[in-house]
Amino acid sequence: MYRTESGEEIFVIDSHVHYWDGSPENQENIHGKQFIDCFYDYHRNLSPEDYVWPKDKFEKYDSQTMAHDLFVKGYVDMAIFQPTYLSEFYKNGFNTTEQNAELAKLYPDRFIVNGAFDPRDGERGLAYLEQLSETYGIKGVKLYTAEWKGSSKGYKLSDPMTYKYLEKCCELGIQNIHVHKGPTITPLNRDAFDVADVDEAASAFPELNFIVEHVGLPRLEDFCWIATQEPNVYGGLAVAMPFVHARPRYFATIISELLYWLDEDRILFASDYAIWEPKWLIEKFMAFELPEDIQEETGITLTLDIKKKILGENAARLYGIDIDSQKEKLKADAGLKGAS
């Protein structure tokens, strides 16, 4: 829980976290090393100096470290796992639903476990998606459209087989479709993360919520023009958030454009842990003000009410979380033993 100087409590949901294993022992090939090295470059270059981790810790951290950084140190009340399998690069997967679910068992009422699908898995993948729904009661999936599979180096949301999976999501009550549409990660292809296919899918499935992770960066303008016409498209701030420290003027541009084209109800806070820790992101975001010239041009002010929506209220609405009830549950939370 984040408390303002006046003592007001702000409920925080980190909408994009990972529990990964990028260690050399788990790397299947050179691509596994390239991927985690690229993650580490983002971490090292955009974090405050005193939040930069040693490389070996970054490659593989334990559950106690994660729980401490999120729930004890980092103001986060709940966090949403976004799995990234990368089975072509890592022997046991990079960050799977099953791995995340084991950690979620240790900290009841703290984690939301999302699943994943890859339409290139065909009928077998549809059965797996149904299994994830039955086993974990997932309300969302994370899609990595640039993930490699055999000779394929990506897919689109508008592909016919992807539509079959989205239809299955509707059938199973999986409403939240989180899609990585942002910066590339070595060795994946930048064009496979292009945001354009979100437009067609969002129009075809108005009953689903499409949360575009990383708000399409570096294609922010494309994303905003899509999202302003598609009311079921949301922006996840993972990767955008650290610029509040590294490039505050750039962050001001990002957040003001999002608020101008979308609205304050469709933007979600995300740390992208463990690329960045939520503590400093939240502190700097809460202290952040839009420059006067941007306020004058856009007519937008980043108020406390807007910050509260972004930090937790919007994600709570998407995932059916009653914040007041959840606060009461967490007051009696004994699940953080070993994390403090």
Q: 113-150 burial, b for 16+ CB within 10 Å, e for fewer?
A: bbbbbbbeeeeebbebbeebbeebebbbbbbbbbbbee
From first to last of its 340 residues, what are the pLDDT tens digits of the chain?
999 988 899 999 999 999 999 999 999 999 999 999 999 999 999 999 999 999 999 999 999 999 999 999 999 999 999 999 999 999 999 999 999 999 999 998 999 999 999 999 999 999 999 999 999 999 999 999 999 999 999 999 999 999 999 999 999 999 999 999 999 999 999 889 999 999 999 999 999 999 999 999 999 999 999 999 999 999 999 999 999 999 999 999 999 999 999 989 999 999 999 999 999 999 999 999 999 999 999 999 999 999 999 999 999 999 999 999 999 988 876 556 556 6
Give residue 30's Cα distance to chain centre. Answer: 26
DSSP state, residue 54: P
- Residue 98's pLDDT is 97
Give residue 9's Cα distance to chain centre. Answer: 23
239 torsion bin: left (phi>0), alpha (psi -120 to 50), beta (else): left
Helix (H) or strand (E) holding 322: none
DSSP state, residue 231: T
- Residue 335's pLDDT is 54
Domain boundaries, given as residue ranges, for the chain: 11-331
CB 280 within 8 A of CB 69: no
CATH of region 11-331, choose from 3.20.20.140, 3.40.640.10, 1.10.760.10, 3.30.420.40: 3.20.20.140
Residue that is written with structure tokens 């949360």 in the block = 211
- Residue 108's pLDDT is 85
CA–CA separation, 113 and 132 (whole Å): 10
Which among 72, 37, 75 is positioned nearest to 58, based on CA atoms? 37
Sheet holding 78-81, edge to edge: 13-17, 78-81, 111-113
- Residue 279's pLDDT is 98
Angstrom distances, CA of residue 187 to CA of 20, 35, 39, 121, 300: 18, 7, 11, 21, 38
* Torsion angle of C-alpha atoms 161, 272, 196, 37, degrees rounded to 10: -90
